[in-house]
Structure 1
Amino acid sequence: MKVFRLILFVLHLGILFLLLGTLLNAYVPPKVFPWFNLLSLGFPLLMICYIILTIFWVFSWKKRAFVFIFAGLAFINPVKRWVNYSDKKENPGIKVVSFNTRAGGRGSTEIGPYLKSLDADVLLLQEDAGIVYKFDGYQKANPGGGLTILTKHKIIKQQIIDPQDENLRIPGLQVDIEINGKIYRFIDVYLNPFRFEKDMVKLNGNTDTNEQKIKDVVKRLIPTFKKHQEQVGLIHKVIENSPYPVILAGDFNSVPNSYEYYHLSDGLEDAFLTAGRGSATSFHDYKFPIRIDYVFSSKSVKAISYEVDRSVSISDHYPVIVKFSAENK
């Protein structure tokens, strides 16, 4: 029994250090050391294992349980980026929707009527592929790059965030919109995708095949992480230089606790942490909880409700619907 507990103790310590490694994404860019970003993909499973082992030590009446409980406090906010419970707030507000339509649902006729039914103030779409949505009373910003912003309100200015690098896709669309007499800068984000097929991440009983699949996945992940670093830098400059409050939303192709999350949220608030309830999982094509769609805002713009609409499956992403307080500050 002592040997078994020793093995569990060493395993628990190992998981703790791996979890701490995900926190380093706030400081270490992928071009320097991409493996911390890779760790962030496994954060949910690592956290579940950590909690189970901590419970084991509690019921074993071991003093080390208190050490692991105390160390686990460092992961309260990282966990809340996946699952959160906040008080509901009732208040008329600015309704914002972010939705990766998967190239218009690849021919789905349901997307247009669904988007119209939301009656949102601003719609930020990714992988739009130039699909034309004709909504009465909406203005459209669609300069290309698969990004589209639709709004009921007056567009003051629109501009793509151009990387000026043929190896990088356009990471964002910046649109300044006047709502109720106040101008907001909306940034629609779509970072480089990994282009995985389901078969690439589906393991089978063949050890050699599985090992090769894992190697192939890592070969795609690392270069894309490095591209994300450059794209994040470009977007962050637009945020820093904005004379208006910012609402940034889109498909980051990155999980919480990743380099992308830490640096795109720098100086902004995660609307899910402020107003979300339950799970923030937004990508449902794989049987694994993945949150890669986000809505952030300047601290002067408060989220009062946050919903991932799982009632529709017209894309491989669920729409994210956020309402912000309409009060001017």
Structure 2
Amino acid sequence: MIKKLLHIILILTNILLVVAIVLSYLSSYISPEKFWFLPFFGLGFPYFALGNLFFLIYWIIRKRKFYFLSLIVLISGSVYLNDFVQINLSSDTKPQSAKIMSYNVRLFDLYSWSDKMESKNSIFKLLKKEAPNIICFQEFYNDISDEFITLDSILTISDTKFYHDEYTFDMHDTYYFGIATVSTYPIVNKGKIRFENTNNICIFTDIKINDDTIRVYNNHLQSIHFKKEDYSIIDSIEQIGKKDVAQVKNIFNKIKDASAIRAEQVEAISNHIKMSPYPVFVCGDFNDTPISYTYKKMSEGLIDAFAESGNGIGSTHNSKIPFLRIDFILHSPQISTSGFEIIECNYSDHFPISCHFEIEKKNK
């Protein structure tokens, strides 16, 4: 009797995991403005995939036909697995290629969240070592006093003479919060896409590289605005008690609201990208994973640099949550990339990502 009950529980659990992973696939195609619950299934995709892999192996060992359930959904979604894990045997950088980086610097640790007073200087040292030609910063901070110098230091340290900065909030006309793109190559045009009722923003920068021009989109899409106590709950999710239920509900509501807002933002950006007269890079902190409406819409017609030349697990968020890839470098087919890298360092709550690139020459 117990054995039969356990067998039924296993089958039902397998079915639930199959339904869950199918819903995660759908979350890429259906806007969260229509079905608010789908983004949660997208976030759970890596775990649903592991669960189905477990049952696939389990039923094969037990020689039961139920393994077809998990086999079908895993094969159907195999393309999504490449968004989280990559094995590229030939990812060497080309000697004449340029380098682009995207980095959410969390205001250079202005408020000492990490209790590391040297975080800002450590970021500067990293930039000097990596020497990217183009850097897209999110959660950028700059002031015009001598208290916390950032922009001038970056331009000097990284040999980037050209910059495009936009600020969505300032204090006393001295302390500025926003986003910035810096470049060793000349900037020939600048623009921005603003969103209502938020400090998140997208900027686009036209950059002249020899005889070619590219447009670089630097994005910081709608933040979830987690607080310190929210991260504490997430980091200890397995130890949640009754008193934490309200906090968990609050976290769910934040994710739900932010997902719907990002859907609006990505529609505006995607339409703008399609009108670009130049090949594009689309970089930044999307605050969403590859299994999401945001990523699907933003990446239309573009190539993911991680998929093209990355290696290993694509986690870009510096937290205890595995498989959380929310920072991206996407590009037009006219651009080829190599040597994609996630640089694991503890100077921000995001890891910087970078790759080398070349603009393919047109046949004359």
TM-score, normalising length: structure 2: 0.85
Aligned residue pairs: how many? 326
Deviation at 1:177, TM superposition (A): 0.5
Aligned to 2:189: 157
Change (3 A) 1:213 1:137: closer
Which moves more between the two structures, 125-134 or 46-55? 125-134
Aligned to 1:303: 337
Aligned to 1:239: 273
What CA deviation, in whole Å up to 9, does each residue of 1:47-72 have, x standing for no partner?
Answer: 11111111101101112224422331
Deviation at 1:86, TM superposition (A): 1.8
Aligned to 1:191: 221
Q: Is the 8 A contact 1:282 1:293 kept in 2?
A: yes
Amino acid at match of 1:108: K
Q: Is the 8 A contact 1:173 1:189 kept in 2?
A: yes
Question: Is 2:173 the counterpart of 1:138?
Answer: no
Q: Using the alignment, how far apart are the partners of 1:171 and 1:88 within structure 2?
A: 36
Aligned to 2:354: 321
Amino acid at match of 1:199: S
Aligned to 1:248: 282
Where 1:61 maps in the other structure, the secondary structure is: coil
Q: Using the alignment, how far apart are the partners of 1:326 and 1:222 within structure 2?
A: 39
Aligned to 1:181: 211
Aligned to 1:102: 106
Q: Using the alignment, how far apart are the partners of 1:22 and 1:71 within structure 2?
A: 11
Q: Using the alignment, how far apart are the partners of 1:83 and 1:268 within structure 2?
A: 19
Aligned to 1:8: 10
Q: Using the alignment, how far apart are the partners of 1:227 and 1:168 within structure 2?
A: 10
Amino acid at match of 1:180: N
Which moves more between the two structures, 99-108 or 214-223? 99-108
Aligned to 1:50: 52
Question: Is 2:84 the counterpart of 1:61?
Answer: no
Q: Using the alignment, how far apart are the partners of 1:74 and 1:309 within structure 2?
A: 31
Change (3 A) 1:113 1:138: farther
Superposed, 1:278-289 pairs within 5 Å as 278-289=312-323
Q: Using the alignment, how far apart are the partners of 1:134 and 1:141 within structure 2?
A: 11
Question: Is 2:83 the counterpart of 1:81?
Answer: yes
Where 1:5 maps in the other structure, the secondary structure is: helix
Q: Using the alignment, how far apart are the partners of 1:233 and 1:320 within structure 2?
A: 24
Q: Which runs of 5+ in 2 are unaligned?
A: 111-118, 143-149, 169-177
Change (3 A) 1:134 1:324: closer
Deviation at 1:213, TM superposition (A): 2.1
Deviation at 1:286, TM superposition (A): 3.1
Where 2:316 maps in the other structure, the secondary structure is: coil
Q: Is the 8 A contact 1:126 1:148 kept in 2?
A: yes
Q: Using the alignment, how far apart are the partners of 2:354 and 2:129 within structure 1?
A: 13
Deviation at 1:143, TM superposition (A): 2.2
Where 1:284 maps in the other structure, the secondary structure is: coil
Amino acid at match of 2:101: V
Aligned to 1:229: 263
Aligned to 2:114: none
Q: Is the 8 A contact 1:98 1:123 kept in 2?
A: yes
Q: Is the 8 A contact 2:22 2:73 kept in 1?
A: no
Q: Using the alignment, how far apart are the partners of 1:116 and 1:139 within structure 2?
A: 16
What CA deviation, in whole Å up to 9, does each residue of 1:163-208 have, x standing for no partner?
Answer: 2x2x133421100101121111100010121121222424475632
Cα RMSD (Å) of the superposition? Answer: 1.7
Aligned to 1:25: 27
Q: Using the alignment, how far apart are the partners of 1:154 and 1:328 within structure 2?
A: 20
Amino acid at match of 2:121: T
Amino acid at match of 1:148: A
Aligned to 2:291: 257
Q: Is the 8 A contact 1:204 1:210 kept in 2?
A: no
Question: Is 2:141 the counterpart of 1:129?
Answer: yes
Where 2:242 maps in the other structure, the secondary structure is: helix
Q: Is the 8 A contact 1:84 1:276 kept in 2?
A: yes
Deviation at 1:155, TM superposition (A): 0.5
Deviation at 1:328, TM superposition (A): 2.1
Q: Is the 8 A contact 2:220 2:286 kept in 1?
A: yes
Amino acid at match of 1:322: C
Larger radius of gyration between Structure 1 and Structure 2: 2
